[in-house]
Amino acid sequence: MTPASRQVLKHVLNQHPSLDLVFQALSDPTRRGMLERLSRGPASVSELAQPLAMSLPAVVQHLQMLEASGLVTTRKVGRVRTCQLDAAALSQAEQWINDRRSGWERRLDRLGDYLAETDPTKGSKP
């Protein structure tokens, strides 16, 4: 990614926190494996690559998608790039799902209440 396109991306992300990119990043098992590893603590790029049966450039490409989504931040000290999870981006995706799920469950609860209230076997017949 060029600095210019990184800049554009950053701008877009700031405008509308991009759930598209977050969920896109999460949709791949290799990237989920990398996040799983990073949830246990920061790691260098080579540590991330070590258990993966793929070339380093392929790992870097996955890492770039994770960075673009905001799920991972990296910083370079000397010759080592260290990767770290960003819990805020994870929270944002989690919250979106949670809001939909609880909306749906509230609706089911209301439906359950309604059915219980109108249950003919519990009717108040004389």
Query: Contact region for a second copy (CB under 8 A) — 4-12, 29-37, 45-53, 74-82?
Result: 29-37
- Cβ count near 103 (within 10 Å): 9
Is there binding between residue 94 and a second copy (CB under 8 A)? yes
DSSP track, 93-109? HHHHHHHHHHHHHHHHH
Is there binding between residue 101 and a second copy (CB under 8 A)? yes
d(CA 32, CA 66): 9
Is there binding between residue 12 and a second copy (CB under 8 A)? no
Site string for a second copy, 33-72 (x = CB under 8 A): --xx-xxxx-------------------------------
Q: Based on CB atoms, which residue is closest to a second copy, 55 or 91?
A: 91
Task: Compute CA 117 distance to the chain's CA centroid, rounded to the nearest angstrom.
Answer: 40
